[in-house]
Amino acid sequence: MRKVLLFSIVFLISLSNVFSQDTVYCYDRYELKKDMPVYYKQIRDRLAFPDAWGNSSIRSFKRWRKYARKLLKESLQAILPEAHFGYRTIDMEQREGYRVEKIDFNISYDVRIPAYLLIPDGEGTFPALVVLHDHGAKFSIGKEKNVRPFHVPDSVLQESKDWVKKCYDGVYIGDFFASKGYVVLVIDALFWGERGRFEGENYNAQQALASNLFQLGMSWCGVITNDDIRSADFLATLPFVDAGRIGAVGFSIGAHRAWMLSAASDRINTTAAICWMNTTEYLMTLANNQNKGYSAYSTILPGLRNHLDYPHVASIICPKPLLLFNGAKDKLFPLSGTWDAFGILRKVWDSQGVSDNLETRVWDTPHEFNREMQIEVLRFMDRHLKK
């Protein structure tokens, strides 16, 4: 009888201890809702981002930047072995004030990729831009979203025109910047355009690609970022490019690609990112597109959130010039998260005495890169790359 009583007391004490813990959940036959753990807020709120500038124990910004970049580049995972670029021109079209070359070059020892290279008329060296295309769940075209294609099937040309009208206010931004005196390089990211699927477009196949790359010790976002780094390296080798005056411009996932590239490589001097900046707090909710998987894999590096949030990664760009625009009516990026991210970045640039090198703005627009924004980006690039 005494043993039974003693066991009962111990059991009740244990039960009391369990239910006194605020974070413990009791489940009713499920632990997931909308493919998220029902306790996702607790997980999210425990992300302390210990290696962010200001959180890290490293007090020298120069040392912190070097350390944070090392974390970022390690999170890119396996990198394909480099090879000589072996650049060649396949086709060419002269346009007003510049020419467009269809080229290919070795992005790695394993992969040779197509691209558009736009070169202004005239002699001497020019500033250059890596222009990075968007996602948009539109995979049949990539570089053709930013450069008016030529010698392509009518169907491709029409797709390109329709997309540019929808997202870029009818302006091919690669052509726009080339007409203003910039060498422009635009590649297809893996899964788009001429680097797409043999079986054809399939939105759902993004998850299979990401999974297969994980099993090969890589990540889709890592491949995209490494390819962008190599693109900037390639631009720097061209005799008509001033290697000290290379910028990056992108919209949507192209914006993510732009600030990731600039954070990872000092080949990039100046960066403009349109409609991709926020924080994990506001992106990881039951209502946001980020939690559905699929396209999210193109911007996810395994394990990085245990160290740095999105604006903390972009902080590695400091003290270089960075422009960030977002839209107040952009349904993909909650406005509160945009303002929080901009605030984090502002503190970093201010702390280094380079406030004038950071420009942030929320436009009264949806998810787009319109003509007025394009003119402001041109002014920003001219100010920093045409000194």
Q: What is the pLDDT of residues 72-108, one digit of tens each?
A: 999 998 888 999 999 999 999 999 999 999 999 999 9
The span from the CA of 283 to the CA of 292, in Å, is 11
pLDDT band at 249 (very low <50, low <70, confident <90, very high): very high
Question: Does residue 4 have a pLDDT over 70?
Answer: no
Q: What is the pLDDT of residue 88?
A: 97
**Which CATH fold would you assign to the domain 61-385?**
Rossmann fold (3.40.50)
- What backbone torsions phi and psi does residue 311 show, to the nearest 5 degrees? -65, -25
The span from the CA of 268 to the CA of 220, in Å, is 22
Q: What is the pLDDT of residue 184?
A: 98
Q: What is the pLDDT of residue 387?
A: 79
The answer to whether 328 touches 365, Cβ cutoff 8 Å, is: yes
The answer to whether 321 touches 265, Cβ cutoff 8 Å, is: no
Q: What is the pLDDT of residue 29?
A: 79
Q: Where are the domains of the chain?
A: 2-45, 61-385
Q: What is the pLDDT of residue 236?
A: 98
Identify the CA nearest to 262 among candidates 322, 203, 214. Answer: 322
Task: Please tell me the pTM assigned to this model.
Answer: 0.92
The span from the CA of 105 to the CA of 206, in Å, is 25
The answer to whether 284 touches 341, Cβ cutoff 8 Å, is: no
Question: Does residue 20 have a pLDDT over 60?
Answer: no
Question: Does residue 128 have a pLDDT over 70?
Answer: yes
